[in-house]
């Protein structure tokens, strides 16, 4: 009786169809949708994010080529990327307008505190050293893209309202540190680098990463610790 080579048998197995990949990974889409929705809850409904993610999942399944990485890893990047791209394209309040509104609110608060009453447009214009027409144009520009109350949209935890002001020396240090971290991660073994990517960038927990890579959560914890120890050692003399 001839022996069967398990590796040969495995190689002959048909790879999952796109339909099977989609069915299997539908829960992954909802999990990513909830992760993204937690940051932009007032901007979009979680079901809308799930629909966007499902389209991305179908496209990922149709275009997936097995090159040694799990489909879940590939799909996670595609699905999350599609959701973020949609949010960026459909953002109703641009960052520049938000900054102008903040500046106007800050100056109005200061002026009205000094006057003890509501400030007129003429007084606001004078306080800012602007002609009345220029002040009116600035107010209009700050509201032109607003389609709903800023109080309903704004959140200190939202990625859309992050403060972009940064000192030049801080920016240089940050870029240097990012470069050093990227170099340290690029030198990691592939699996350790993947675990860091899924944990810190994709915000998956240890159990989810374990399911993605086909190992237990305890093993993922060991891999993450080993990877972080390597990165810390590489960055020991960075400063």
pLDDT at 79: 92
DSSP tag of 148? S
- Stretch among 5-19, 61-75, 78-92, 106-120 having the lowest mean pLDDT: 5-19
Confidence tier at 3 by pLDDT (50, 70, 90): very low
Give the other-Cβ count within 10 Å of 76's Cβ.
Answer: 26
The secondary structure of 90-121, three-state, reads CCCCCHHHHHHHHHHHHHHHHHHHHHCCCCCH
Residue 49's Cα: distance from chain center in Å?
A: 13
Which is more confident, 171 or 33?
33
Considering 4-8, 110-114, 164-168, the range whose residues carry the highest mean pLDDT is 110-114
pLDDT tens digits, 135-160: 888 887 776 444 444 444 445 555 44
Confidence tier at 222 by pLDDT (50, 70, 90): very high
Give 207-211 contacts, CB < 8 A, sequence gap 24+: 208/31, 211/72
Whether residue 12 has pLDDT greater than 50: no
Confidence tier at 164 by pLDDT (50, 70, 90): very low
The full set of domains in the chain, from first to last, is 16-89 (1.10.1740.10), 95-146 (1.10.10), 168-234 (1.20.140.160)
Contact (CB, 8 A) for 143 and 82: no
pTM strictly above 0.85? no
Whether residue 85 has pLDDT greater than 80: yes
Cα–Cα distance, 21 to 14 (Å, whole number): 13
pLDDT at 146: 44
Confidence tier at 97 by pLDDT (50, 70, 90): low
pLDDT tens digits, 17-65: 888 888 888 898 988 888 888 777 666 788 888 899 999 999 988 888 7
Share of the chain above pLDDT 70, in %: 72
pLDDT at 147: 45
């Amino acid at each position: 009786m001839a022996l069967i080579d398990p590796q040969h048998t495995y190689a002959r197995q048909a790879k999952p169809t796109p339909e099977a990949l989609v069915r299997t990974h539908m829960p992954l889409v909802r999990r990513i949708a909830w992760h993204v929705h937690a940051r932009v809850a007032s901007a979009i409904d979680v079901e809308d994010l799930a629909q966007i993610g499902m389209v991305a999942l179908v496209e990922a399944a149709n275009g997936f080529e097995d090159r040694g990485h799990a489909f879940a890893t590939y799909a996670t990047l595609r699905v999350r990327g599609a959701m973020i791209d949609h949010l960026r394209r459909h953002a109703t309040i641009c960052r520049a307008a938000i900054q102008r509104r903040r500046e106007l609110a800050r100056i109005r608060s200061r002026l009205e505190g000094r006057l003890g009453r509501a400030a007129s447009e003429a007084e606001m214009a004078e306080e800012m050293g602007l002609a009345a027409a220029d002040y009116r144009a600035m107010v209009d520009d700050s509201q032109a893209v607003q389609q709903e109350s800023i109080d309903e949209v704004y959140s200190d935890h939202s990625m859309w309202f992050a403060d972009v002001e940064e000192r030049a020396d801080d920016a240089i240090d940050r870029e240097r540190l990012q470069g050093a971290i990227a170099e340290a991660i690029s030198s990691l073994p592939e699996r350790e680098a993947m675990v860091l990517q899924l944990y810190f960038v994709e915000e998956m927990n240890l159990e989810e990463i374990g399911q993605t890579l086909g190992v237990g959560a305890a093993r993922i914890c060991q891999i993450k610790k080993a990877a972080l120890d390597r990165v810390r050692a590489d960055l020991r003399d960075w400063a």
